[in-house]
Amino acid sequence: MMRTRPLKVALLGCGVVGSEVARIMTTHADDLAARIGAPVELAGVAVRRPSRVREGIDPELVTTDATALVKRGDIDVVVEVIGGIEPARTLITSAFEHGASVVSANKALLAQDGAALHAAAGEHGRDLYYEAAVAGAIPLIRPLRESLAGDKINRVMGIVNGTTNFILDKMDSTGAGYQEALDEATALGYAEADPTADVEGFDAAAKAAILAGIAFHTRVRLDDVYREGMTEVTAADFASAKEMGCTIKLLAICERAADGGSVTARVHPAMIPLSHPLASVRGAYNAVFVESDAAGQLMFYGPGAGGAPTASAVLGDLVAVCRNRLSGATGPGESAYAALPVSPTGEVVTRYHISLDVADKPGVLAQVATVFAEHGVSIDTVRQQGKDGEASLVVVTHRASDASLTGTVEALRKLDTVRGVASIMRVEGE
């Protein structure tokens, strides 16, 4: 039997995502009620600019006082899509204190203060759901928290930022330079006027922290994630990647150490073989590749951003939270029982692609090879091209630690025959 008294929802933020959440709540009201077991009612919408016309939203519901809205006491669920750290953190905490569960899309806040927010939700017996915080419409958080809860996840590697994937895909497919590809992404609305959060990896790093925490049952904060942007990736890097049968993606990689005693989380551009499923992810799409003991290899793929796709994830959480509300239960909270240490990136072992500008004369290769050997870095392949006294030397290593590679590069820079290090890039997915 369906309950007739509606569950009341407060919406914080009514931008691209928030307006889509409100629209879907209205247009799919009957279906949502049938799936939940009670109608849901939009009880208030907190915004910064109340004078702006918001189609389909009763102006009487619009307020600039978000604090008063979450403190009303009759709100069942607060949907937070304003982003940023404050006032979102205070508003979410206040919502718990006043009896509401929370659905959030706030990756930055969850990556920084997820443990404290989970603790507040648990203290007050309320839900905190955040599927929309990572990879837009792609169901990912719930499969990791619930569907794979009985498995041991060893690695999560993915493309979690559509802007950067669009830019790199354009560079790969057309031979465009970074700035040219960024300009096109901006013109098409894929990149913000200030793309720093995307292209420097801050957005992906926040998502990596969330994914690592869930996958490894360990608290991983944003500060624990190694971050490297993609602004230095060049057309020459793509040419080298193609010669290796690879392409280049900005990857978020979370993995358990081979001995199981620690975890790492990192974001950086990397070459991946064209045979890897992530290599075929084009345009602004996202995809996440999960490796676990029992399930093996899984890939989650779809639109990683945008109003309607992200709102789809928000509404999925809203349905789950409302069902919990009706049954008097709560869903899964934070699982950090493993408390594994987060190792520095210097201990990460991977392959490397190093491009050097060197003098075109006998003995250079022997000198370079000696430096690699002295630092315990084994060489897989070497390719050298020379003309008019100058040459490029491309070295691909076997697996080596970041620390040993750093020492190798420092030593290479001291050689008289090495004019410069053109690029260093990890090789993943093999």
Q: Which positions are annotated as active-site residues? A: 207
Q: Sign of torsion, CA 272 273 276 282?
A: positive
Q: Record the tokens describing residue 22, joined without a space.
A: 């409100």
Which helix (H) or strand (E) element contains residue 50? none
Residue 281's CB is within 10 A of a number of other CB atoms, namely: 23
Q: Record the tokens describing residue 191, joined without a space.
A: 């990149």
Distance between CA atoms of 167 and 186, rounded to whole angstroms? 10
Q: What Cα–Cα distance (Å) separates residue 51 from each residue in 47, 59, 80, 135?
A: 10, 9, 21, 32
Name, in order, each residue with C-beta under 8 angstroms of 192's C-beta and a sequence gap of 6 or more. Answer: 163, 186, 198
For residues 400 and 376, the answer to whether their CB atoms sit within 8 Å is yes
Q: What Cα–Cα distance (Å) separates residue 122 from each residue in 101, 126, 291, 338?
A: 10, 6, 30, 19
Distance between CA atoms of 316 and 139, rounded to whole angstroms? 9
Q: Record the tokens describing residue 215, joined without a space.
A: 């996958």
Which helix (H) or strand (E) element contains residue 19? helix 16-27
User: What backbone torsions phi and psi does residue 30 show, to the nearest 5 degrees?
Assistant: -65, -45
Q: Please tell me the total number of residues recorded for the chain in this structure.
A: 430
Q: Interior CA angle at 203 toward 201 and 207, to 5°?
A: 110
